[in-house]
Amino acid sequence: MEAELSPGPGPGCERPQLRAGGRDPSALRAEAPWLSAQGSGPRAAPVTVPAPPQGPSMGGGFAGLEFALPQEPLAADLGTPGTWAGAAGLPTPSVHIPVPAQRSPPGKARLDEVLAAAALTSLSTSPLYLGAPAVSFSPEPDLEPWREALTQPTGSYSSSSNSGDCVWDQASDQSSPSTPSPPLPPEAAHFLFGEPTQRKRKSAVQVVFQCLWKSCGKVLRTASAIQRHIRLVHLGRRAEPEHSDGEEDFYYTELDIGVDMLTNGLSNLAPTSPEAPVPPAFPHLDLPSLLRPLALPLPLPPLLSSAAPPKTCHGDHAHHAGEATGGSWEQVSGHSGEERNPSCSSPQGCLAPVHVDPQPTEGRATAPALPSKLGASLRKPRGDAKKCRKVYGTDHRDLWCTACRWKKACQRFLD
């Protein structure tokens, strides 16, 4: 029996969720780019702010608010008159937007105020999208897509006070002219860009199933569908489910999409937390992980999630998943549940849905915990997902993913 179980699945499957682009152990450790940023000194954080061209007040104020500017720049500013701070004669170069009473010039000032107010309003409503969060991630070049994704909606949102038009036109790619890879799926965009769209659709939890087979990544709505898919396509077995020994279960993963959790994750990103202005506070957070499944062919920063383990679904509990899901996700990968999606060639599957682990405790716990111990060992808390060892047993070691065989972090059952 076990003899036939060719190791095929093993090496084949280990890839899927793993970061494309080869995150090596070291990278794995440095889950937080900001760690190095921290080390590399003061210039990292504030300087790189991609100052939004339109609103100096917005961008500047924002960045400043968030990442309390380091000493040196402050001092410099104080010293050098001519900056707005100097001009205003304020003793402290506070970044608060000056909305003082002494704004005398009546006509023009009014306009400015209106603008400022508008800006502030939009800021307060959608704090997330300005430069700040993007900055914190900046060290990772691979994050470009994210950043773009994050920043992009800015415009559309601010201009989206009217109802329906706020759909972010993802098709028009201003960001990545060259990448053939599909941008984020609309749904994901909703998650990412939060409030406005997300409020619209308040679907609680969706579950989809993604094939983990190498270079497949098919996403189907029901467990049975994905099982059948795996059986037929990958395992080359007959389609009778009753014949199954459950092996398919190892080759797909269940992905829950929890809207609320996602929103939470994002809101952490947002500069709304006044007490935690330190960039390290959120970088590792979950954003990447939230997005990770969307990984495109290009190597994405892994930053494995702490709160989003795509749990493998095992036969007995293909639970609620199957039927409950609405139809929306199916389109992500294959339109009609066909066997192969031509447009989907990435090992990760085309665009896997975002997955958020519904466990209440974890999501929050990890984020704050991380930054505190910078130098210390950031050993991961150890997820509760089953690992190869547990699943296959020590005597079927050949079925383990390579990482497990090498005593590395399991690649097949990520947590």
Binding site for DNA (CB under 7 A): 25-26, 28-29, 377, 379-383, 386-390, 394, 402, 404-410, 415
Query: How does DSSP classify residue 285?
Result: S
Coil vs helix vs strand at 270: coil
Query: How does DSSP classify residue 311?
Result: P
Q: Which of 135, 142, 153 is nearest to 191 (CA)?
A: 153
Q: How far is the CB of 36 from DNA (least distance, A)?
A: 14
Instruction: Report the side by side order of strands in the sheet with 219-220.
Output: 219-220, 205-211, 252-258
Coil vs helix vs strand at 91: coil
Coil vs helix vs strand at 312: strand
CA distances from 37 to 63, 136, 170, 280, 291 (A): 17, 9, 31, 9, 22
Task: Using CB atoms within 10 Å of the CB of residue 267, give its burial: 0 to 12 exposed, 13 to 18 middle, 19+ buried.
Answer: middle
Nearer to DNA, 202 or 379 (CB): 379
- Give dist(CA 365, CA 307) in Å, integer: 9
Beta bridge partners of 207: 256
Q: How far is the CB of 26 from DNA (least distance, A)?
A: 6
Q: How far is the CB of 145 from DNA (least distance, A)?
A: 23
Q: How far is the CB of 361 from DNA (least distance, A)?
A: 11
Q: How far is the CB of 126 from DNA (least distance, A)?
A: 35
Hey, what amino acid is at 166?
Answer: C
Q: Quote the radius of gyration of the chain (alpha carbons, Å).
A: 24
Beta strands in 160-314 (DSSP E): 205-211, 219-220, 252-258
Q: Which of 151, 145, 181 is nearest to 168 (CA)?
A: 151
Nearer to DNA, 336 or 377 (CB): 377
Nearer to DNA, 326 or 381 (CB): 381
Q: How far is the CB of 355 from DNA (least distance, A)?
A: 17
Beta strands in 172-305 (DSSP E): 205-211, 219-220, 252-258
Q: How far is the CB of 243 from DNA (least distance, A)?
A: 28
Nearer to DNA, 158 or 253 (CB): 253
Nearer to DNA, 25 or 81 (CB): 25
> Do 344 and 350 contact (CB within 8 A), yes or no?
yes
Q: How far is the CB of 345 from DNA (least distance, A)?
A: 20
Nearer to DNA, 108 or 407 (CB): 407
Q: How far is the CB of 305 from DNA (least distance, A)?
A: 12
Q: How far is the CB of 392 from DNA (least distance, A)?
A: 10
Query: How does DSSP classify residue 313?
Result: P
- Give dist(CA 261, CA 80) in Å, integer: 45
Q: How many helices (H) and strands (E) does the chain have?
A: 21, 3
Nearer to DNA, 104 or 394 (CB): 394
- Give dist(CA 196, CA 107) in Å, integer: 34
- Give dist(CA 24, CA 30) in Å, integer: 10
